[in-house]
Amino acid sequence: MCHRGAAPLSSSLFTPYTLRGVTLPNRVWMAPMCQYSAPAEGAATGAPTDWHLQHYGARAVGGPGLILVEATAVVPEGRITPYDLGIWNDTQVEAHRRITSFLDEHGVVPGIQLAHAGRKASTDKEFRGGAPLTRDTLGWQPVAPSALAFDEGQPVPHELTAEEIRGVVDAFVAAARRSVAAGYRVLEVHAAHGYLVHEFLSPLSNHRTDGYGGSFENRARLAVQIADAVRAAVPEETAVFFRVSATDWAEPEGWTADDTVRLAALLKEHGVDLLHVSSGGTLPHARIPAEPGYQVPFAARVRRETGLPTAAVGLITEPEQAEKILAGGEADAVALGRELLLNPYWPRQAARALGAEHPFPPQYGRAERARYRTSRV
């Protein structure tokens, strides 16, 4: 930690980063995390509420460079739960503008994750157990690339037709346009964690025999079509990310790290600006060797072998750990999830620990001065 009068240390974590026309003030980003707190019925279904405004507002005051708003459904049946956010209508757009305006005001780039839950849709809130819902309890029949349930006791999804798949692409395009209208400058397509786009990618969940199944090229077809369509639908300066699961943790039968590198190279050719690298989600009981930074090597490999920028995520909790990831060239940014739920001010505290300039807002200055008062040297 720097003392007063000492020169600040150089920090990779707190240097700006530009993608297309978006300059992010630092490399500490907030990962998307569902709040399950949107109205499930009525005219405001799927629209952000005061909960979302204060939740994202508090993290904005904490100082990340980018906030990626939680998985936001492109169609009603694409919600994980009836209580998820959506952006399939203009009422939702107006509510999202409250969030993007506040983030902009506090120097944070607003981003949104566009999602379709596929066969993992129509469940209860995570903190109520996440059990499947029926039509009598606000539920619906999920859809998927193949009529394969996620787990025992889960509903068998409807297998999408080719025409319905085209409708999914159209829904992502409409959602992307609404997101730009709502003030988001980064759009992230959710292609991870066993949700619809990931379901098409993984041979564990995709047993199709048409042009969307079988070979790697066919299984990647939906992801590429969404990338092309979203890129064409939004302004050139808008950054487009993909979030992927680097592995199903079921090699060699499932989606693998080699597949992810191959997909990354393909997405780069189709206008994607950054890969946000997570893992898992296709299997309900996969053995995942979770430990600090356990997903970072996947992000590092994609970056090294394809040149596509990456964001690393997963059990990144310490400032020195995050700084080492960036300084070592393993990723271009780090995304924090649970750590920012517990501590909204992690970015500013990390800057202090690393000797970087990132002071608290003046309204909180008296607390900062009291806690971090140091002697002159």
> How many whole angstroms separate alpha carbon 98 and alpha carbon 93?
9
**Other CB atoms within 10 Å distance of the CB of residue 270:** 17
For 212, which DSSP code? T
End-to-end CA distance of the chain: 13
DSSP 94-143: HHHHHHHHHHHHTT-EEEEEEE--GGG-SB--GGGT--B--GGGT----E
Tokens representing 221?
A: 């077809």
Q: Which of 17, 195, 212, 345 is catalytic?
A: 195
Dihedrals φ, ψ of 114, to 5°? -90, 130
Q: How large is the angle between the packed helices 257-269 and 296-306, nearest 10 degrees?
A: 50
Q: Biggest alpha carbon distance in the chain?
A: 71
Is there a contact between 244 and 285 (Cβ–Cβ < 8 Å)? no
**Other CB atoms within 10 Å distance of the CB of residue 222:** 24
**In terms of C-beta density within 10 A (0-12 exposed, 13-18 middle, 19 or more buried), how is residue 187 classed?**
buried
The answer to whether 17 is a known catalytic residue is no
> How many whole angstroms separate alpha carbon 193 and alpha carbon 282?
6
Peptide bond preceding 64: is omega within 30 degrees of 0, i.e. cis? no
| Backbone Cα Rg of the chain | 20
> How many whole angstroms separate alpha carbon 176 and alpha carbon 114?
8
Dihedrals φ, ψ of 186, to 5°? -125, 130
Residues labelled catalytic: 195
